[in-house]
Amino acid sequence: MSRNSEWQEEQQRVNFIIEEVKKRELTLQEKLGTTKEEVVDIRKNFWEDVTVNFENADEAAETHASIKQQAELMSERERSHQHDLKQLKHLHKLKDSPYFGRIDFLENGESEIEKVYIGTSSFVDNDGVDFYVYDWRAPISNLYYDYGPGPGTYETPSGAISGEIEVKKQYIIRQGTIEHMFNTGITIGDEMLQEVLGGQSDTQMKNIVGTIQKEQNQIIRNDRGRLLIVQGVAGSGKTSAALQRVAYLLYRFRNTLSADQIVLFSPNPLFNSYVSTVLPELGEDNMQQTTFQSYLEYRLGDEWTLEDPFHQMEYILSSSNDELYEQQVETIKMKSSLYYMEQMDHYLSKLENEGLVFRDLIFQGETFVEKETIYEYFYEIDDSISIPNRLQMVSEMLLKKIRKLEIEEREKEWVDKEVELLDNEILLKVHQKVQNEMKKDSDHFYEYDREQQLLRALVVKRKCKKIKSAVSNLYFLDMLTVYKQLMQEILPANLYEQSIKKINEGLFPYEDATPYLYVKGKLEGFQVNAKIRHVFIDEAQDYSPFQFAFIKNMFPRAKMTVLGDKNQSIYAHSKESSFSALQSLYDDGEVEKYELTQSYRSTRQIINFAKKIILADIEPFNREGEKPLLWKAQTKKQMNENVIERVKHLRRSFGTVAIICKTAAESKSLYEAIYHHLDVRLMTKHSTGYESSILIIPSYLAKGVEFDAVVVYDASRSTYNKESERKLLYTICTRAMHSLDVFYVEEKSPLLSNVSKETFQERM
């Protein structure tokens, strides 16, 4: 068959599928209208269609059954309506691009070749027998991702099916028209990747189901271990694979798993926005998305002003001349280690017999129960009972004392004064209550006494509400003092003094938040979430071993998928050993590991430049572009002028140009210097999204995101001069898809000394 006739035949099939999709859409729209009318009708006439009679037990039981039947009918119609709406969304997407791949498969023992077309969702004929298009997550679709022409096998619930792949094709179809079509081998072909990767960046991540590589497919479909570790270089598609993995899990376990049972910990709110459209594009609901900082603020924000990791990062990057700098870095690293957790456990075991610190219970400005009394009562309880259970027993004892106090306080003089201050609405309610009680009693004096009794009880109950809540929440335990004592026991004196100083100044350090919650959990009982079945952690190299252990404890039933790049480990609390520390928390048979070494985001020229900064073994995808440009200036003023002119030039070719500064302070300073000359937006830790434009962004907020063109601002010796900043500079450079410019004053950073001159061009 000639190329032209084959193309025509394939286009005819696309046209046929689109026509079938349109017919199905019309049918569904009619059904949706009918179902919606049924739901509205059931709601409107709910009580008319229910037999209500409570005269005796039998009639009441019949009434209950009637209500239940009607409610189930309404629920079933609503479920059907939601299912059809979801199908309609799938069909709408199929109209534009019905599929992206095809394999011709001859199953062993069969004589007829099956043409298997693969798209973002399934499309079956009206009888539900023949598949026009298979969902990319279906078992048979695995052949497309894992094999080229030749023998192939895929797993089904009933066992493995083997055969021969005769043909493997890829398509790029837009608005119902085939734009590209080509045969390919085992990997998704360069032509398709070039087409997808050569386009401009988007403010939101695209789904990659049409270009999933074999190694990414294995990550997506792995459902064996309890811990899946993906170590991938910058731009290797690990985040994209993780999101497709969520979609796969929701498809594979659709009868037992829902989106609200999956949580993604992402690096910042900007990243949340960046990935928010991937799952909806695939017809799935978004999983829960949060940051670890948001969780810390949820748990501790009412008690403290919490430092966030970005504030800590600002200090690390800009305060190296501080006389306490090295001491602070040492403190952060220690409090982030599993060793610190082990030392905490050792200290906490001592508290089983002595050492807990309690607070006095205060009522009406006077001590109601002294802390010494609480201490004695706690340690009189059998020490074979856990500390959390003993604290609950103390809480129950104190609540009994409060109930007794309530009765005693009703006769006190202060209560009369409070009663007089009650508003009329409350007085009226109490009066009506007494009237209802006393319909058969006309003794008005007794009625007055009863009202006063109820009002006094109400006043005292209100006063005791706060102390009751405090006791129920175990606030009689002085957690902060316990934590301070623990630090004093574990830390060297100089590190302890610095830690206490920061806490006493009113800012709770980021490095203390997780250890503090750990101690709180060990003493009061951990707040765990057993509902969550899968936890995803992106930019996992930014997490400390302590944080990993804590997250594992938070979600005891969940499987965990962690994705990161040790070469982008830029925080003081993160370590190259974090992944191995996490792995040590699981049994050997529970861990699955993958390594992705090929980078798809950036051009070959950008990767060849960036990988020399860290001397890493990164395999660039064969997409050509211009060599990175290094711009030398004699003064900062000249550098800013050069940046302005270069960005104006870049903006004519690219949608998003990111000027990446080292710190937030530097970003703000640059913004104030150039915003009169450029239409530029300053990104901060509070930014939740962006549009294609010129951005100024601190280095650590750019992690996980990509831009058409990147301008590295002030890569001078004076700015990037510490070995600890090498990975940071590498991370910044690898945000660029098509263009990379590095600006500096007088002398470039020594971190660029390993970069060979063949990989860049210099501009003066």
Rounded CA-CA distance 418/414 in Å is: 6
Helices (H), 102-237: 142-146, 190-197, 214-221
Binding residues for ATP: 232-239
| Residue 580 pLDDT grade (very low, low, confident, very high; cuts 50, 70, 90) | confident
Q: Quick: pLDDT tens for 112-143.
A: 999 999 998 899 988 888 899 999 999 999 99
CA atoms of 515 and 342, how far apart (whole Å): 11
Same domain? 740 vs 626: yes
Angstrom distance (rounded) from CA 278 to CA 246? 10
- Please check whether residues 472 and 329 belong to one and the same domain: no
Is residue 722 predicted with pLDDT exceeding 80? yes
> Does residue 259 fall inside a structural domain?
no
Q: Are 192 and 210 in contact (CB under 8 A)?
A: yes
User: Could you tell me if residue 254 is inside a domain?
Assistant: no
Task: Report the distance separating Cα 259 and Cα 266, nearest Å.
Answer: 16
Of the three residues 460, 477, 494, the one that is the final residue of a domain is 477
Whether the pLDDT of residue 166 is over 90: the answer is yes
The DSSP 8-state label assigned to residue 748 in this structure reads: B
User: Which tokens is 276 given?
Assistant: 């928010």
Residues 6+ apart with CB under 8 A from 534: 246, 249, 257, 261, 262, 263, 287, 558, 559, 560, 561
Residue 123 lies in a domain: no
Cα(261)–Cα(248) distance, integer angstroms: 14
For residues 405 and 419, state if they share a domain: yes
**Domain presence at residue 173:** no
Residue 451 lies in a domain: yes
Task: Give the residue-averaged pLDDT of 738-757.
Answer: 95
Specify the CATH number for the domain of residue 717: 3.40.50.300
387/527 same-domain check: no
CB count within 10 Å of CB 58 equals 9
**667 and 738: one domain?**
yes
Q: What is the DSSP string of 640-684?
A: HHHHHHHHHHHHTT-S-EEEEESSHHHHHHHHHHHTTTS-EEE--
| Model confidence pLDDT, tens digit, residues 290-349 | 999 999 999 997 778 899 888 888 988 888 888 888 888 899 999 999 999 999 999 999
Whole-number Å distance between alpha carbons of 104 and 81: 36
Compute the average pLDDT of residues 487-510. Answer: 89
Structurally, the chain folds into a number of domains equal to 4
Residues 579, 662, single domain; the answer is no
CA-based nearest residue to 335, from 589, 558, 509? 509
372 plus 449 within the same structural domain: yes
Report the alpha-carbon distance of residue 714 to residue 666 in Å, rounded. Answer: 10
Weakest-pLDDT range from 429-438, 484-493, 508-517, 729-738: 429-438
- Which of 61, 96, 131 is the endpoint of a domain? 96
Q: Is residue 90 part of a domain?
A: yes
CB 134 within 8 A of CB 119: yes
Residue 414, pLDDT above cutoff 60: yes
Q: Are 638 and 675 part of one and the same domain?
A: yes
Asked whether residue 458 falls in the same domain as residue 373, the answer is yes
Q: Measure the CA–CA gap between 269 and 290, rounded to whole angstroms.
A: 8
Structural domain range at position 747: 619-762
Say if strands 305-306 and 507-508 run parallel, antiparallel, or are unpaired: parallel
Domain boundary among 96, 112, 134: 96
pLDDT tens digits for 614-672?
Answer: 988 899 888 899 999 999 999 999 999 999 999 999 999 999 999 999 999 999 999 99
CA distances to 608, 632, 638 from 747, rounded to whole Å, are: 22, 8, 14
Residue 763's pLDDT band (boundaries 50, 70, 90)?
confident
Whether residues 434 and 542 share a domain: the answer is: no
- Rounded CA gap, 439 and 17, in Å? 77
pLDDT band (50, 70, 90) for residue 197: low
Point out which residues pair with 228 in neighbouring strands: 561, 592
pLDDT > 60? residue 191:
no
Give the span between the Cα atoms of 5 and 348, in whole angstroms.
77
The 3-state secondary structure of 109-141 reads: CCCCCEEEEEECCCEECCCCCCEEEEECCCHHH
d(CA 508, CA 514): 11
| Chain centre distance of CA 502 | 29
In the annotated binding site, the residues are: 232-239
Judgement on whether residues 365 and 319 belong to the same structural domain of the protein: no
8 A C-beta contact, residue 238 and residue 245: no
Helix axes 726-733, 604-614, angle to 10 degrees: 170
- Closest by CA to 316, choosing from 300, 290, 292, 336, is 336
pLDDT surpasses 90 at 68 = no
As a whole number of angstroms, the distance between CA 316 and CA 662 comes to 11
CB 567 within 8 A of CB 727: yes
Q: Does residue 19 belong to any structural domain of this protein?
A: yes
**Euclidean distance between CA atoms 612 and 752, whole angstroms:** 8
Farthest-apart Cα atoms in the chain, separation: 108
Q: How many CA atoms lie within 13 A of 745 on its CB side?
A: 13
Q: What is the pLDDT of residue 426?
A: 67
Neighbours of 312 (CB within 10 A): 19
User: Rounded to whole angstroms, what are the CA distances from 24 to 21, 173, 374, 515?
Assistant: 5, 20, 71, 56
Tokens of 200: 């401009």
In a domain, 639, yes or no: yes
239: confidence class by pLDDT, cuts 50, 70, 90: confident
What do you get for the CA distance between the two ends of the chain, in Å? Answer: 58
Question: Is residue 695 located within the same domain as residue 752?
Answer: yes
The single-letter DSSP state of residue 358 is B
* Residue type, position 609, single letter: F
Q: Tell me how far apart the alpha carbons of residues 708 and 736 are, in angstroms, rounded to a whole number.
A: 6
- Quick check: 609 pLDDT over 60? yes
